[in-house]
Amino acid sequence: MDADGIILQPQPKDKPAMISAHMAGLRTDDEFFTFLRENKSNTAVVQFGASWCTKCAEFFPTWYKLSKKHTQVKYAVAQVDTLKHAIRGVKYSPSFHFYRGGRLVDRVLGKEPQRLDDHLWMHQD
């Protein structure tokens, strides 16, 4: 909110946020498509969620632990509230989408640790 009481939209950042050294935070479609382009030669997994999603918040520590276990995969967390085109096909939160060569090849819906672990193992490079 500015001094006149007008609510301002969040401004894009110069570069994507890094949740950790191995996990990017994606807030715009440009950041999302750049992440996929930069990781075309690897398997990239994007968790689609929202700040208001309690299931996403509850599951994040497990997701983070799994990302440390399967180090050959590239990871990102995407905010569904700020994306427009990248969220096509996302119907559940959290959703984990697996990309290879920039194309969607698999997905895991919900907070199922063993199922996600199995899919991460299957898609390791």
Identify residue 59 by its one-letter amino acid code. F
Of the candidates 34, 53, 100, 109, the residue annotated as catalytic is 53
Active site residue 56: yes
Q: Which residues contact 120 (CB under 8 A, 6 or more apart)?
A: 45, 66, 69, 70, 73
| 103 catalytic per annotation | no
Number of H helices and E strands in the chain, helices first, is 3, 6
Tell which residue, 120, 124, 13, 122, has the closest CA to residue 64: 120
Determine the length of the chain.
125
CA distance 40 to 36: 6
Determine which one of 56, 78, 90, 108 is catalytic: 56
Catalytic residues: 53, 56
